[in-house]
Structure 1
Amino acid sequence: MIPKLNEYKERWHIKSDHSIKPGLKAIKEALTLLGNPEKRLNVIHVSGTNGKGSTIQFMESILEAHGYTTGVFSSPAIIDIHDQIRYNGNPVTQFTLDETFRKMKEVELSGKLTDFELLTVAAYVTFERLQPDYVLIETGMGGLLDSTNVVQPIVSVITSVALDHVLFLGSTIQEVATHKAGIIKQGTPAVVGALPPEALEIVKQTARKNDTIIKSYGEQFFIEVKDKEIFNGEHIFTLPYRKMKGTHQMINCGVAIEALLTAGINLIEKKVQDAVATAQLSYRFQEVMPNVYLDGAHNPAAAAALTETIENEFPGEKVDFIIGMLKGKDIKGTLDELMPVAASFTFLTFAHPDAATGEELMKNCGHLEKSVTNSFNRPIILDNGNNGRKIVTGSLYLMSGLKFL
């Protein structure tokens, strides 16, 4: 479900292929018809279970602070298709996307691609025309067979590996890591975040097979949370303030900086500091009104990071959670990770075809203070009349449904 994509498909008479065809054959053929726009871009390709969006946001902000133009392809949508394809930090316009879909119509792509493949092609065509200095591409799911994985990047980035999308990526860390590491290309350096040992070994094996170097958090670059430093053997960046809170965001910031350095970009500490101080990704511990936060923690690893952030930011406090999640996620595992900082849970059903009902969610919760609401009403959800802290969390589709921004 990609908001407003259907409007472009209808306007330009382009249909989607709704069959399931694993692999990259269809999108490669489509890009060939378009003259392979993806081959004329300086791409940093980012995969990972969690942290992709935040890492890209840090890179985008740092690049722009240094005077570079940027393109970003990310998912899911915050509002609609336009914010999934950004140029210099701004959603592309309808005029720009109409030009892109006109080109796609000319080569007769109708019926050949899935919705996400169409969107991926649209991103590459758009960026070829706009020619940003650097293009930051986020995988949709996995990496190895993801439709974005048709580029030869200048750097590959793997932010994290944890269990998620198990029906598609596998039920073990090693299987998931194999998919994430699939974006590593021959001779292209890779930068990786904090990975479980078994995942890191898979990534290193993949790097060796592709005759490339790997720069790993905790081995080639490091963070010092207390001193707010990110450093490797050659550079030290002191970052006195970050808008995006949490140790996990410090690591994401470190991954972003290491990736840009690996790409050969000369970074100036003051410009990095200014960029990091203002970088903010929607729905990542985002305070939208006093004591009301949005955070898209939709799996156990993300929930654990959220719990750690709450413990660090509000020592000794407990918060009220409002949660909506998709079916097929590890609902119990996610809720269990939030339990140590939960004063209460309120579960809701939101407008998505794969959304779990509030009742289904509540069955997985062992907390005594729990309830279900059938109201998807933004003022009610975000009301904080009891003056406690409230965190709306779970699916990113729930966050975008609030349309708070």
Structure 2
Amino acid sequence: MIPKLDEYKKRVKITSDDEIKPGLAAIEKAMELLGSPQQNLKAIHVAGTNGKGSTICFMESILREAGISTGVFASPAMIDIHDQIRINGENITEEELTASFQTLKDSGIDGMLTDFELLTAAAFVTFDRLKPDVVLIECGMGGRFDSTNVITPTVSVIPSIAKDHVGFLGDSIEEIAWHKTGIFKKGVPAVCGQIPYEAKKVTEKVAKEVDSPLLIYGQDFQMIEGNPEQFRGSLQITLPPRKMKGPHQAINAAVAIEALIMAELKLPIEAIQSGIACAKLSYRFEEVAPGVFFDGAHNPAAAAMLRRTVQEQFPGEKIDFVIGMMANKEIKETLNELIPVAHSFTFIDFDVPGAATAQFVYDQCDFGKKQVTDRENVSIILSKDLDGKKIVSGSLYLLNSLRSHIL
């Protein structure tokens, strides 16, 4: 589901293929018909389970601080289709996106691509036309067979590998790692974050097979905790405090820095420092009102990062969580990661296809103080001037639906 995509399809009279087919054949054929716009881009390709958006945010911020123009293709949408394609930090305009979809229509690819493939093609066409200096491309899901994997980047990046989308990517870390590392290209450097041992074995094997120079966090580069933080990798840099809090964001920042160095971009140290300091992204431990935080943690690994961030930022405090989740997620395991820092759980329904009912999520929660409530009561809970912090989490769709009630 891509919000507002149907409006553009109707506007230019283009259709998509409702059947998702494995592989890249359709998008590769479409790129040929479009004149291979993706080949004209200086791109950095980002796959991984968690941290993709944050790592891209850090890179985008650094590049812009250095005066380098940027394009970003991100997913899923935060609000609607326009925030999935950014130029120099700004969402694509309706006029520019209409022009890109018209190019798709005129190329003869009508009915050839799925919705996400269609949006991917629109992003490549947009970047080729507007020509930003560097383009940051986020995989939609997986990597090996993701429609973005028709580019040859200057660097491949994987911030993390953990279990998610198991119905599509496999039940084991090894299978998921095989999908993610499918973005590695011959001779192209690959930069990875902190990954589990099972994933590391697969990652090293794939990198060797395609002759991709591999750098892994904790082995080839790292962030030294302290005040100030110290990046130690291909360069050594002292960093100011980050707006994006949490120990996992220190790793994402380090991955971003090392990836940009591997892209052989001439970046002033000051641009790296200020870019890391001022980078911020919605729904990453974002304080949307005093004492109310939104965080997009939606799987066990992300929930563990959220828990560690709470323990770092609010030592000894307990949190009132408001949770809504998609049915295809590891709900029980995700909630278990949050229990050590929980004061209470409130579960809510949200109207999105594939969402788990609040009652189902409630039944998965092994915690005494919990309740199911409706949107009106959640708004009251979040607006009350009560002691203690409150965090809304579990699904970006839930966060989007509740944001207007807070701001």
2:402 corresponds in structure 1 to 402
2:222 corresponds in structure 1 to 222
Q: How far apart in 2 are the matches of 1:78 and 1:378?
A: 21
Structure 1, gaps ≥5 residues long: none
Amino acid at match of 2:224: E
1:124 corresponds in structure 2 to 124
Is the contact between residue 304 and residue 337 of structure 1 (CA under 8 Å) also seen in structure 2? yes
| 1:59-98 alignment runs, 5 A limit | 59-98=59-98
1:165 corresponds in structure 2 to 165
Q: How far apart in 1 are the matches of 2:228 and 2:201?
A: 28
Is the contact between residue 215 and residue 221 of structure 2 (CA under 8 Å) also seen in structure 1? yes
Amino acid at match of 1:286: E
CA shift, 1:231, in A, is 3.2
Is the contact between residue 350 and residue 376 of structure 1 (CA under 8 Å) also seen in structure 2? no
CA shift, 1:266, in A, is 2.6
Q: How far apart in 2 are the matches of 1:126 and 1:396?
A: 26
| 1:160-239 alignment runs, 5 A limit | 160-239=160-239
| Greater displacement, 318-327 / 230-239 | 230-239
1:322 corresponds in structure 2 to 322
Is the contact between residue 317 and residue 388 of structure 2 (CA under 8 Å) also seen in structure 1? no
Q: How far apart in 2 are the matches of 1:287 and 1:231?
A: 26
Is the contact between residue 247 and residue 309 of structure 2 (CA under 8 Å) also seen in structure 1? yes
CA shift, 1:381, in A, is 5.6
Q: How far apart in 2 are the matches of 1:252 and 1:159?
A: 6
CA shift, 1:28, in A, is 0.7
Q: Deviations over 1:89-109 (max 9, x none)?
A: 000000001110111111222
CA shift, 1:232, in A, is 3.5
Is the contact between residue 47 and residue 142 of structure 1 (CA under 8 Å) also seen in structure 2? yes
Q: Deviations over 1:334-373 (max 9, x none)?
A: 0000000000000011121010010000000011110011
CA shift, 1:378, in A, is 7.4
Is the contact between residue 292 and residue 384 of structure 1 (CA under 8 Å) also seen in structure 2? no
TM-score, with normalisation over the residues of structure 1?
A: 0.98
Q: Deviations over 1:68-107 (max 9, x none)?
A: 0000000111111000000000000000011101111112
Is the contact between residue 229 and residue 236 of structure 1 (CA under 8 Å) also seen in structure 2? no
TM-score, with normalisation over the residues of structure 2?
A: 0.97
Change in Cα spacing, 1:369 to 1:378, as seen in structure 2 (3 Å) is closer
Identity of paired residues, percent?
56
Q: How far apart in 1 are the matches of 2:20 and 2:376?
A: 32
Is the contact between residue 142 and residue 176 of structure 2 (CA under 8 Å) also seen in structure 1? yes
Q: How far apart in 1 are the matches of 2:83 and 2:357?
A: 28
2:114 corresponds in structure 1 to 114
CA shift, 1:235, in A, is 1.5
Amino acid at match of 2:186: Q
Q: How far apart in 2 are the matches of 1:45 and 1:230?
A: 25
CA shift, 1:5, in A, is 0.3
1:10 corresponds in structure 2 to 10
Is the contact between residue 79 and residue 403 of structure 1 (CA under 8 Å) also seen in structure 2? no
CA shift, 1:9, in A, is 0.4
Q: Deviations over 1:290-327 (max 9, x none)?
A: 10000000000000000000001001000100001001
Q: Deviations over 1:110-164 (max 9, x none)?
A: 2111110000000000000010000000000000111111100000001100000
CA shift, 1:398, in A, is 1.4
